Amino acid sequence: MATSQDQSLGSSSDENCQLRFREKLLAIDLELKFQDVESLKFLCIGFIPQNKMEKCRSALHLFDYLMTGEIISVKDPFFLAELLYTIKQNYLLRHLGYTKKQVECLLPIRGKLSPFRKLLYELSEGIDEENLKDIIFLLADKIPKVSMSPLSLLAYLEKNTEIDEDNVILLEKVFKKVAPFLLRKIENYKREKAAQEVTPPVDKETESLPQGQEEIFTPSDIKRFRGALTLIRNIKPPNMMVPTKGFYLFFLKETIMYRMDRKHRGHCIIINNHSFTSLKDRPGTHRDAECLKLVFEWLGFTAHKYDDVTKGVMDKILQEYKSHPGHADGDCFVFCILTHGEFGAVYSSDGVLIPIRSIMRHFTAQQCPGLAHKPKLFFIQACQGPEVQTSVLTEADAQNSKHLSLMDSVPTEADFLLGLATVPGYMSFRHIRDGSWYIQSLCNHLKKLVPSTCLFTGSSQVANCTVWTAVNSPTLSLVHSDASGPNVEERGHLKDGCCS
């Protein structure tokens, strides 16, 4: 039984934590400008009642309402971190104990802002004074004749039900006339919304954890996973190509279930080539590499990242993991390659073209007995040809136009999955700041979808995943095309690379 002195000490400690947290919020408030506060208020629509929102005259008022509603707290300030990240005030994240990179990696799991709210905010950022005047003129019969900012205009249209998350027709009509370069954002939103309707989002019910820690699975998640196991074990896809959220899975035989209950999940190798002796650098690749490392470590793998790997070093890495003793007690093996590439091959940092086949064949059952009958997953961010697809702020991950047969790149051995960033013959693209579409999408989908086929014994530790589904056939090819990337003519962005 706690004594009155113990209770007093606990109360004093809580009060000190609250005081320190409010001091941090005060420090953030002092560095925010009027427009920043307006942006925060707009993003908080739906989280704070409208009558209270109208009374907000500073960020401190906003923070008070968020704390009262337990949307942010001493133990969990992440929503505020998400808000600051969204309005691009990343230097203020330090007050909350976060970095920009940490927020980016946690957003797919812990983010609270709806895609519609983020769409409207992104659209507002693209509206300049001339665009705003034109929009107000077109919508003169729908809006009051008062001074409006892009945010207040969009907020008014939403409040008066002219637009909502299921109806963006008015936005499409207006931007088609005034700012067609913003239509791509609306198209992306509609595509993502349609995908979410096919695959419902994971329940975001969470339990509070110490600041900086990530709640991976909740009790409701675990209950749902266990209930789904019976259905999953009975899945036997026909011999057909099945499109799944932008991916194509080629099922050649009956599906089998791989064991995921050994001593450890396995090794994940990440080859991250940024600088080359004779080819262009690949800015943005470190973002991909860090996200892959975080996600696969979260999934229970031991991740090993290698930067700027020459042909000689690649050979040593392949030899090391071909005969690694840890495979015997592992469930799976993952090999990720981020580099320049050609049809069926990838470049080392010293400019040597390496066939994908020569990399994968090190891990066949004959060459690597420790991985026999275990899934071997290869994810490759690199071009597969010279054909150009549209992009934003990108560089192409290709150099010369030498061609190899893609079929020659795939080993004739079971239990392989090959994931490519683009379809054969085409370039893949990489945002020079935010990383590649393929790898970022892969990481986000692994976080969202992998748990739906696993059984876990605890709320924060990966264990006993028994239902990783794959195909017992010569190969299971997983190909993702980024052909639907943003328009290169979108204002302020460049297509920053091309095959010679």
pLDDT digits (tens, 9 = 90+) for 35-57: 999 999 999 999 998 888 888 88
**Residue 186 backbone phi and psi in degrees, to 5:** -70, -40
pLDDT at 387: 58
CATH top class, domain 15-113: mainly alpha
Taking Cα atoms as reference points, which of 60, 65, 76 lies closest to residue 22? 60
How many residues comprise the chain? 500
Residue 424 CA to residue 406 CA, distance in Å, equals 7
**Positions marked active-site:** 340, 383
pLDDT at 467: 28
- 36 or 390, which is more confident: 36
Q: Is 222 helix (H, G, I), strand (E, B) or coil?
A: helix
Residue 470 CA to residue 474 CA, distance in Å, equals 12
Residues of the chain with CATH 1.10.533.10: 15-113, 117-198
Q: Is 426's pLDDT higher than 70?
A: no
- pLDDT bin (cut points 50, 70, 90) of residue 280 is confident
Q: Is 231's pLDDT higher than 70?
A: no
Locate all alpha helices (DSSP H) within 214-341, ordered by sequence. 219-233, 285-298, 311-322
- pLDDT bin (cut points 50, 70, 90) of residue 385 is low
Q: Is 411 helix (H, G, I), strand (E, B) or coil?
A: coil
Indicate the average pLDDT of the chain. Answer: 75
Residue 262 CA to residue 457 CA, distance in Å, equals 14
Do residues 279 and 499 lie in contact, with contact meaning Cβ atoms separated by under 8 Å? no
Q: Is 204's pLDDT higher than 60?
A: no
**Can you identify the CATH homologous superfamily of domain 117-198?**
Death Domain, Fas (1.10.533.10)
- 292 or 421, which is more confident: 292
Segment among 42-46, 67-71, 249-253, 345-349 with least mean pLDDT: 249-253
Average pLDDT over residues 132-150: 93
**Residue 276 backbone phi and psi in degrees, to 5:** -130, 155
Do residues 301 and 266 lie in contact, with contact meaning Cβ atoms separated by under 8 Å? yes
Q: Is 416's pLDDT higher than 70?
A: yes
- 476 or 280, which is more confident: 280
- 98 or 447, which is more confident: 98
Do residues 39 and 87 lie in contact, with contact meaning Cβ atoms separated by under 8 Å? yes
Q: Is 224's pLDDT higher than 70?
A: no
Per-residue model confidence as pLDDT tens digits over 295-323 = 999 888 999 999 999 999 999 999 999 99
**Residue 99 backbone phi and psi in degrees, to 5:** -115, 165
Average pLDDT over residues 332-347: 90
Task: Tell me which range, 222-231, 318-327, 384-393, is most confidently predicted by mean pLDDT.
Answer: 318-327
**Tokens encoding 217:** 């699975």
pLDDT at 261: 79
Q: Is 407's pLDDT higher than 70?
A: no
Do residues 360 and 411 lie in contact, with contact meaning Cβ atoms separated by under 8 Å? yes
Measured in whole angstroms, how far is the alpha carbon of residue 310 from the centre of its chain?
A: 28
Task: Tell me which range, 6-20, 120-134, 183-197, 227-241, is most confidently predicted by mean pLDDT.
Answer: 120-134
Average pLDDT over residues 339-348: 87
Residue 49 CA to residue 317 CA, distance in Å, equals 57
Average pLDDT over residues 11-36: 89
Q: Is 161 helix (H, G, I), strand (E, B) or coil?
A: coil
Q: Is 471's pLDDT higher than 90?
A: no
Residue 379 CA to residue 419 CA, distance in Å, equals 5
The DSSP code sequence of 422-441 is: S-TTB--EEETTTEEHHHHH
Residues of the chain with CATH 3.40.50.1460: 219-480
Average pLDDT over residues 147-160: 93
Residue 264 CA to residue 327 CA, distance in Å, equals 9
**pTM of the entire predicted model:** 0.44
Residue 319 CA to residue 322 CA, distance in Å, equals 5
One of 3.40.50.620, 3.40.1280.10, 3.40.50.1460, 2.60.260.20 is the CATH number of 219-480, namely 3.40.50.1460
Helix (H) or strand (E) holding 116: helix 115-126
**Helix 183-198 to helix 169-178 angle, to the nearest 10 degrees?**
150
Taking Cα atoms as reference points, which of 325, 269, 337 lies closest to residue 301? 269
Question: What is the DSSP secondary structure assignment for residue 404, as one 8-state letter?
Answer: -
344 conformational bin, left if phi > 0, alpha if psi -120 to 50, beta if neither: left
